[in-house]
Amino acid sequence: MIGPPAQAGAHGATAPKKVGILLVAFGSSEASAQVSFDNIDRAVRQAYPQVPVRWAYTSHIIRAKLADQGKVLDSPAMALARLHDEKFTHVAVQSLHTIAGEEYHELRRIVGGFQAMALFEKIVMGHPLMATQADMEAVVDTILANLPQARRADEGVVFMGHGTHHPADAGYAALMYRLQLKDPQIFVGTVEGYPDVELILGQLKQRKINKVYLMPFMSVAGDHAKNDMAGSEDDSWVSIFTGAGIQCVPILKGTAEYDGFVKIWVAHAGEALKALH
Ligand code: CO
């Protein structure tokens, strides 16, 4: 005879409360990206010194590449299993993604699975960088506060977002709209979504902009920033704009290298921690 269903939570009733933060990024195998991750790690530990911090990378390819270099990074599921094994009872999973796109929702499904298994008393997820209109306002303020100092008002600034087939892709155009209300010479294009580089090029020509600063709108200055944005291949943004007579100054710095952006992620982790209580 099978007894009543076990209440996983009940077993933990006597276990002392143990709170942890799991930071989850896509990951990068580029050494240049590590400065971004270190920056976020430091800021989260400073803000919540009593809470242990763990990391996971969602990208299988990146994890395999790092493993070849002897660096073992967990997947989100593996990291959560470890936290359970270490008797954590409350876990805040903080997405270090830029928008709530495909990868963010994949992570949500994993967190949902752990919720269903009731291995933790509580597990909640923090928003990515830009989830709400308030986030977008904070992102706009941070961008405006960190524009290249040498830039003159008539010169353009073009951000390269990742872009996605996911509906959250709309956030990039919305961000550009908000930015242009404050500074009409700022543009937001994407590698894989909308607006694309041709659309941005058309805008630059229409406004007769002959010099632009190119900046990644991604947490790290990794492969996309180095190659798709600033690379020497014919289809890099630098090559496309330069070919159209527009002078380019690429700035290889991910958003997580700026304290202003990091603050937004840290605040979201704080909201997730609060929701654990
Ligand atoms: Co990509």
Q: Taking the CA of residue 181 as centre, how many other CA atoms within 13 Å lie in the half-sphere pointing to its CB?
A: 8
Angle formed by the axes of helices 102-117 and 76-85, nearest 10°: 30
Q: Quick check: 276 pLDDT over 90?
A: yes
Calculate the average pLDDT of the chain. Answer: 94
Instruction: Give CA 37 to chain center in angstroms.
Output: 10
Q: Are 117 and 152 in contact (CB under 8 A)?
A: no
pLDDT, residue 22, reads 98
pLDDT, residue 31, reads 83
pLDDT, residue 15, reads 80
pLDDT, residue 235, reads 96
| 144-165: average pLDDT | 97
Q: Quick check: 11 pLDDT over 90?
A: no
Q: How confident is the model at residue 13 (pLDDT cuts 50, 70, 90)?
A: low
Q: How far apart are CA 105 and CA 145, in angstroms?
A: 30
How far, in Å, are 62, 192, 229, 244 from residue 238 at the CA level? 26, 17, 6, 10
What is the set of active-site residues? 162
Q: Quick check: 198 pLDDT over 80?
A: yes
User: Hunting for tokens 């990868």 — which residue is that?
Assistant: 103
| 124-138: average pLDDT | 97
Alpha carbon distance, N-terminus to C-terminus of the chain = 38
Question: In the chain, where does the domain assigned CATH 3.40.50.1400 lie?
Answer: 2-129+258-275, 147-253
Q: What is the pTM of this model?
A: 0.92
Span from the CA of 105 to the centroid of ligand 1 (angstroms):
16
Sheet containing strand 211-216, edge to edge, reads 186-190, 156-161, 211-216, 247-250
Tens digit of each residue's pLDDT (9 = 90 or more) over 32-80: 888 999 999 999 999 999 999 999 999 999 999 999 999 999 999 999 9
Q: Quick check: 259 pLDDT over 90?
A: yes
Span from the CA of 191 to the centroid of ligand 1 (angstroms):
8
| 138-152: average pLDDT | 97
pLDDT, residue 10, reads 55
Span from the CA of 208 to the centroid of ligand 1 (angstroms):
30
Q: How far apart are CA 47 and CA 266, in angstroms?
A: 7
CATH 3.40.50.1400 assigned to 2-129+258-275: yes
Q: How confident is the model at residue 277 (pLDDT cuts 50, 70, 90)?
A: confident
Span from the CA of 224 to the centroid of ligand 1 (angstroms):
7
Span from the CA of 169 to the centroid of ligand 1 (angstroms):
13
- Written as one string, the DSSP assignment of the chain is ---SPP-HHHHGGGSPP-EEEEEEE-----GGGHHHHHHHHHHHHHHSTTS-EEEEE--HHHHHHHHHTT-----HHHHHHHHHHTT--EEEEEE--SBSSHHHHHHHHHHHHHHHHT-SSEEEEE--SB-SHHHHHHHHHHHHHTS-TT--TTSEEEEEE---SSGGGHHHHHHHHHHHHH-TTEEEEESSSSS-HHHHHHHHHHTT--EEEEEE-SSS--HIIIIIIT-SSTTSHHHHHHHTT-EEEE----GGGSHHHHHHHHHHHHHHHHHT-
| 144-154: average pLDDT | 96
Fold of 147-253: Rossmann fold (3.40.50)
